[in-house]
Amino acid sequence: MGFALWTLLASSLAVAQVFDLSELQWTLKNQNGSIVVPGSLPSQAHLDLFEAGIIDDPLLGINEFTERWVINDNWTYTADLTPFTQTYQSDASGKTFLVFYGIDTIANITFAGYPVAWVNNQFRRYTYDVSDYLSSSTGEDNNLTIALESAWYYGLNVTMRPDAEYFPNTPIVSTSNNFEYPNVRTWIRKIDDDFGWDWGPAFVPSGIYKPAYLVTLSESELRSPASDATPCPVTSRSILLDETSLDIYKYGQNSSVAPDQSADWIINVTLGIRSIKSFEKPTVTLSIPELKLTSEPLNLGPIPANTDENIYLGVNWSIPDSTPERWYPIDLGNPKLYNLTVTLDPSPSQGDEPSAELITQTITTGFRTIQLLQTPYSEEEIASRGITPGDQWHFAINGKAFYSKGTNIIPFDPFYSRIKPEAVRWVLESAVKSGQNMLRVWGGGIYQPSDAATDGGLYAFYSLCDELGILAWSELIFSDSLSPINDFFLESIEPEVRQNVRRVNRHPSNVQWAGGNEIEGIVMAANTSLANGTHYLDEFVYMFQDYLHDIVLSETNSVPYTDCSTTHGVLSLDPYILRFANGTPGYIYGNGERYNYNASEAFDLTTYPVSRFLGEVLENPEDFAFNSSVVMSRDHHPPAGNLSWPNPNAPQGQYQMTSAVELWLPTPGTSDSNQTFAQWCWSTQLFQSMNMVAEIAWYRRGAGLGENNLGSLVWQLNDIWQGVSWSAIEYSGRWKVLQYGMATVYSPVIINPFWFPGNESLTILATSDRWETGMGLDAILPSGYNAKDVWLLMNVTATVENKLVTSESYFTPVSLAYSNLVDPQITVTAGDNYTFTLSAKGGVGAWTWLDHPSGTVGYFLDSTTGLPSNGYYLIPGIDRTVQFIFSIELATVQSPDPADFVVRSLWNNTHI
């Protein structure tokens, strides 16, 4: 018989039975029983149907459409409990808990024939006392059953309730944006993009997508544990430690009080406890071995005998400011981490022997302060620095303002339970390699996990950010829709938010909690355009200014809260009052974003916003596609807004891409159709990178101007499938042109041209240095040359924190579509260990690009600078040597032929 039994504890007396439910034999069936296949845990219905051969891989071909029937059915997971009950040891004092770390989403849970619970929130952990059901089953039912309801049909049913509010969409404002499955997602606590988005599929999955356990506590000695250990769940003989929150902040610090950088550090540990017996004088001892620090036993307060819900008890430990080294993002310092040992002793003994109920955890964490500065600039700053009046909107780490450079993260796969840890690490390491210091966890996806074990995360995210030194902007999962405030809806949201804030508290990489994505702008439009607009504004204020704000800040002192990813800022932090449209004309408030699909304005600097911070920077999607059903179905921009298939709006998205290439680059067209298609794909990616780099350079330029711009986050870093999107890294892990472009423009020191065609002026700016200007194009051009024949190369090299950094930029006075390109006659010489030397024997190779073969995953590293490099101007006489750095874990081809690496440049858009 298969079962797993383990413990965290060294003492054999302090043993709880922990049974991993993945060891049961699961079956999956649809509502009418016509399909019955083996199931698994953690998993989702699509994945088990694929494994059983009932459906093909959902990500292939047009399966998003042909497999919609899976979404429309109800699916039930069932497992015989006999492997557990045969090993279960019952006694009068014992209690058994059923622990789920994630159910997606609407489900009835039945244990041995007894109804346990109905659940409706994908983002919550659920713990139930099932002790009474173990003594006798209902009839012959000895099963654990999770009956999942179609989230699509559940949502439709909820919208029919008499108390379900209607959210109108008009030509002026959409109060509930629809992408594929319409009008339901705002009523379901589930990943928003499961119902479709303008860059991803709509599979609306269901399943037990995270691990689940049976935990048995008993005052009597239980059987010895198996040798393997797991940190999840954490138990002693009598206690289930359901949650551990670790919050590190400065004495006196909170969301409206700036931290005193010289004050002592406060280490707050809060425990969520269920216990089968009471303990009068429990203590918690904290230690940091690297610092040789150990606290005195800290009084926790009495633990009552309670198994119905968690009891929350906490302790504080104060240590001097100078004792630990501070954590910094990797581009600003060292992301220093420490191991904090938390020892709970429920009944301290008088002698030297440890208590039989001792629970010890080790949590990796760091010391830092993070602020989101939103108060007005002082008159002195306005006068002395030339700051445009208004409010600040930027972050400060350890009391120092910095420029946030980064991208936005979406879910790594449509099916959470199959996300590969090594794929996530590759994406995050790639972000660091391209100079990023911040990732925004988009509020339409999922609460990213801490690590593979904590709360059944399955892979590491925040702990990787801690390790790699990359900041994480966190958001509650509300996106592009107004939210109802019905009681039945709110009662599920509060525990969801509390659980996730408490879990993430320990991570020094976390910089803030935003209430959601792009909702403030929606409600402001509704307020001014709808007859009952103030009703929606009042609901928004209740939900995002008051309700969520109060929940988040009751659980943390270390990070700020803001209502939305894009916001006009605040009138006051204490009390927290949003600004909305209450501002002085000409002043700058809050942050912003830029979406512009007019390719003719791609490089018109006057169309770029002037803002304190850009949370989303975006231009046209970059993958060209022909008009086949498969490709049309993969282009979700603009979205259909309903279940029409293929997307009837796909031609509009394709036009945006192709027109951009035709306007700014040579139009691909050769006698080789395969080459033409490849050049189209690459050219659209190249245009995206050119535009994004130009925008980022503009915003970084603003750090020294009146707007004092201190942040730009590009949409988006990763991809959820193989489709048309804005990602810098493909679903497979392949770097696109944009990823290399960011490696240049996010360098600590950059140089860039800024061309203003209105008065024909060119400004060349190196950050942290003076700028030079030249008036009139004729004054810039070399004597005797036409604007179509010349280009400008700009290099800057600097030493930053004892490391050499370099940046290279290019300027062409006319569009490359009209430039007189010359055959660069590029040769590629392969060396050892996949090094390649590229030489231009004819003319300049504009945007020379080296492509690695299908099945390989990695990036090219410049042998001279040691930095990622691809997509550059290859100059005759100045060779480039690069090495391909493999990701062995992700590659399906381990030893490619160097001859299969392909070089291209813009010359190949029109020539073989």
- Give CA separation, 182 vs 176, 178, 179, 385, 481, in Å: 9, 5, 7, 49, 12
Q: What is the dihedral of CA 88, 90, 95, 99, to 10 degrees?
A: 10
Range with the poorest average pLDDT among 546-560, 652-666, 788-802? 788-802
Q: What is the 3-state secondary structure (H, E, C) of 855-908?
A: CCCEEEEECCCCCECCCEEEECCECEEEEEEECCCCCCCCCCCHHHCEEECHHH
- How far, in Å, CA of 612 to CA of 741, rounded? 23
Whether the pLDDT of residue 223 is over 70: the answer is no
CA–CA separation, 10 and 354 (whole Å): 10
For residue 325, the tally of other CB atoms under 10 A from its CB is 15
Tens of pLDDT along 726-747?
999 999 999 999 999 999 999 9
**pLDDT at residue 781 tops 90:** no
Whether the Cβ atoms of residue 237 and residue 14 lie closer than 8 Å to each other? yes
What residues contact residue 25 under an 8 Å CB cut-off, 6+ apart? 38, 79, 80, 83
pLDDT of 80 over the 60 cut:
yes
State the catalytic residue, choosing from 64, 149, 518, 619.
518
Q: How confident is the model at residue 718 (pLDDT cuts 50, 70, 90)?
A: very high
Q: Which pLDDT score, from 0 to 100, does residue 770 have?
A: 30
Phi, psi of 423 (to 5 degrees): -70, -40
What residues contact 484, with CB distance under 8 A and at least 6 apart? 164, 165, 186, 187, 539
Dist. CA 230–CA 87, nearest whole Å: 19
Catalytic residue list contains 518: yes
> Distances in Å between the alpha carbon of 789 and those of 664, 816, 843?
16, 10, 11
Cα gap 647→200, rounded to integer Å: 12
85 CA to centre of own chain: 40
Question: Does 561 have pLDDT greater than 70?
Answer: yes
Tell me the pLDDT band of 758, cut-offs 50, 70 and 90.
Answer: confident
Helix (H) or strand (E) holding 494: helix 487-504
The set of residues, in sequence order, having a beta carbon less than 8 Å from that of 431 and lying 6+ positions away, is: 406, 407, 439, 470, 717
Chain segment 368-420, per-residue pLDDT in tens = 999 999 999 999 999 988 999 999 999 999 999 999 999 999 999 999 999 99
Report pLDDT for 520.
Answer: 96
Structure tokens at 866: 């040691």
Q: Is 226's pLDDT higher than 60?
A: no
Residue 281 CA to residue 892 CA, distance in Å, equals 57
Lowest mean pLDDT among 351-365, 624-638, 680-694, 885-899: 624-638
SS3 416: helix
Which SS3 state, helix, strand or coil, does residue 830 take? strand
The span from the CA of 143 to the CA of 140, in Å, is 9
Task: Provide the pLDDT for residue 7.
Answer: 29
Which single residue is written with the structure tokens 């995953």? 857
- In angstroms, how far is CA 559 from the centroid of its own chain? 17
What tokens were used for 13?
A: 């007396």
Q: Which amino acid is at 801?
A: E
Res. 134: pLDDT tops 70: yes
What is the layout of strands, in order, in the sheet containing 17-20?
17-20, 212-217, 95-100, 126-129
- Nearest partner of 371 among 397, 410, 409, 391, judged by Cα: 397
Considering the chain, what is the average pLDDT of its residues?
91
pLDDT of residue 143: 96
* 8 A C-beta contact, residue 815 and residue 664: yes
Tell me, what's the pLDDT at 476?
98
pLDDT digits (tens, 9 = 90+) for 844-857: 999 999 999 999 99
